[in-house]
């Protein structure tokens, strides 16, 4: 494990030296604009929601960018109705201007749900899952970032966690299977260390160049779970094509390394998941058995970054595929209809348009419990969409992706392949 981690780190250090050395043949790209732009942004949108297993209601998304002539952004979301809760985040709260900033997220969901598939890996079917419904879930993320050389090098340290409890099991259609006699506790915590090397022409809207990210997550043993690290490596190359357009190529690999196995006794895991409180109901016993088996594999092998959601393998639901090892790659064409700065001054949207962009993308990915098995089963995703890129740093997007299990719609707020902190 240590060999792998340090090998990737040394490769990154070499890349850093190479690009910044006098003999780098001017490969490093000049920034197109100020990397700490203070253009203010405002976005507010209310919308209805309907979540299987949870219910319906109204949510509101709010964003304030570069508040009071600073680079600080505030983002929040609130839910009313059957799925109640809220969270808020603050980004680029500078402690030392242009050098050190903080990022923070805090939230609570009074009611939440998690899809638990029939098995980890790639073999589960589309509807082979149960919805575990929980309550009183609190979560947090705090991060300290050192940024240097016009954001070409960033080193981030942070910690995050959450706590709640599952109280019900529903089927994939949202119909009640069983109320749990004793709640199943949800509790996690982790620390992370991330190195970002960005040799593109712009940190927020790259059109030319290369960026590399290495992330190490450290998970302590919680509730008899495994103690392990996961190491994630991501590389994206941006190839400029005529008239300010970009063809992007992305490679992503994530692997878990177990320091100490957790509880691998299936009978005790079945008890913890509520199997023996099902009262003989077959659907409940089947659901809790699958959950216990998945937990056994997680306690034995750890978990790498998942596939599914807006960042990786977009035609599949969030965290659709989970295992100990993950491989993903993709490409997308970003066609900019306009790159002129245009002021946006509407009631609930205020910003400066930096680009109006059409996108066409294709992705593939695989997960496996053993590294040697990665790639034996592969899922693909492809689609298109339109994006509005703003100077304040937001990417408003509407995309449709399709794959073997149907289509998914993707909305708001970032380019893909950016987030490394998901499950």
| Domain assignment of residue 397, yes or no | yes
CATH assignment of the domain containing 110: 2.40.160.50
What pLDDT, on the 0 to 100 scale, is given for residue 53? 84
What pLDDT, on the 0 to 100 scale, is given for residue 283? 92
Whether 162 contacts 175, CB under 8 Å: no
| Domain assignment of residue 208, yes or no | yes
| Domain assignment of residue 27, yes or no | no
What pLDDT, on the 0 to 100 scale, is given for residue 11? 54
The answer for residues whose C-beta is within 8 angstroms of residue 373's C-beta and 6 or more apart is: 325
| Domain assignment of residue 290, yes or no | yes
**Domain count within the chain:** 1
Domain extent at residue 159: 2-22+48-411
What pLDDT, on the 0 to 100 scale, is given for residue 237? 95
Tell me the backbone φ, ψ of residue 305, rounded to 5 degrees.
Answer: -65, 140
What pLDDT, on the 0 to 100 scale, is given for residue 280? 87
| Domain assignment of residue 43, yes or no | no
What pLDDT, on the 0 to 100 scale, is given for residue 269? 93
C-alpha Rg value of the chain to the nearest Å = 22
What pLDDT, on the 0 to 100 scale, is given for residue 24? 42
Tens place of pLDDT for every residue, the chain, 423 residues?
444 554 555 555 555 444 444 434 456 789 999 999 999 999 999 989 888 888 899 999 999 999 999 999 999 999 998 888 999 999 999 999 889 999 999 999 999 889 999 999 999 999 999 999 999 999 999 999 999 999 999 999 999 999 999 999 999 999 999 998 888 888 889 999 999 999 999 999 999 999 999 999 999 998 889 999 999 999 999 999 988 899 999 999 999 999 999 999 999 999 988 899 888 899 999 999 999 999 999 999 999 999 999 999 999 999 999 999 999 999 999 999 999 899 999 989 999 999 999 999 999 999 999 999 999 999 999 999 999 999 999 999 999 999 999 999 998 778 999 875 555
How far apart CA 286 and CA 298 sit, in angstroms, is 19
What pLDDT, on the 0 to 100 scale, is given for residue 407? 94
| Domain assignment of residue 353, yes or no | yes
| Domain assignment of residue 40, yes or no | no
């Amino acid at each position: 494990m240590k060999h792998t981690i340090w090998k990737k780190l040394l490769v990154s250090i070499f890349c850093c030296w190479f690009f910044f050395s006098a003999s780098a043949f001017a490969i490093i790209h000049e920034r197109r604009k100020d990397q700490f732009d203070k253009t203010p942004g405002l976005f507010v949108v209310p919308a209805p929601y309907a979540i299987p297993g949870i219910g319906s209601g109204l949510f509101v998304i709010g964003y304030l960018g570069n508040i009071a002539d600073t680079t600080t952004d505030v983002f929040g979301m609130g839910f009313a109705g059957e799925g109640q809760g809220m969270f808020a985040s603050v980004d680029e709260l500078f402690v030392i201007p242009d050098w050190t900033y903080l990022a923070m997220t805090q939230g609570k969901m009074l009611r939440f749900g998690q899809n638990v598939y029939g098995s980890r890996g790639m073999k589960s079917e589309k509807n082979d899952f149960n919805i575990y419904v929980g309550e009183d879930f609190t979560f947090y993320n705090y991060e300290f970032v050192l940024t240097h050389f016009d954001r070409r090098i960033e080193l981030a340290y942070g910690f995050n966690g959450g706590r709640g409890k599952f109280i019900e099991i529903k089927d994939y259609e949202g119909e009640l299977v069983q109320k749990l006699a004793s709640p199943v506790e949800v509790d996690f915590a982790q620390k992370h260390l991330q190195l970002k090397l960005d040799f593109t022409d712009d940190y927020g809207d790259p059109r030319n160049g290369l960026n590399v990210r290495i992330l190490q997550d450290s998970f302590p043993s919680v509730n008899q779970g495994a103690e392990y690290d996961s190491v994630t490596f991501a590389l994206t190359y941006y190839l400029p094509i005529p008239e300010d357009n970009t063809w992007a190529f992305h490679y992503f690999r994530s692997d878990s390394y177990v320091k100490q196995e957790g509880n691998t006794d299936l009978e005790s895991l079945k008890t913890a998941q509520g199997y023996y409180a099902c009262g003989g109901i077959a659907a409940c016993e089947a659901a809790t058995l699958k959950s216990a088996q998945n937990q056994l594999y997680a306690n034995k092998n750890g978990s790498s970054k998942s596939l599914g959601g807006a960042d990786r393998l977009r035609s599949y639901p969030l965290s659709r595929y989970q295992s100990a090892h993950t491989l993903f790659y993709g490409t997308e064409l970003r066609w900019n209809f306009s790159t002129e700065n245009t002021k946006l001054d509407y009631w609930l949207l205020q910003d400066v348009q930096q680009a109006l962009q059409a996108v066409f993308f294709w992705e593939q990915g695989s997960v496996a419990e053993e590294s040697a098995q990665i790639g034996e089963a592969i899922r693909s995703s492809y689609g298109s969409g339109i994006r509005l890129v703003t100077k304040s740093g937001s990417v408003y997007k509407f995309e449709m992706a399709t794959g073997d299990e149907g289509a998914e719609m993707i909305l708001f707020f970032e380019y893909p392949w950016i987030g490394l902190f998901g499950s």
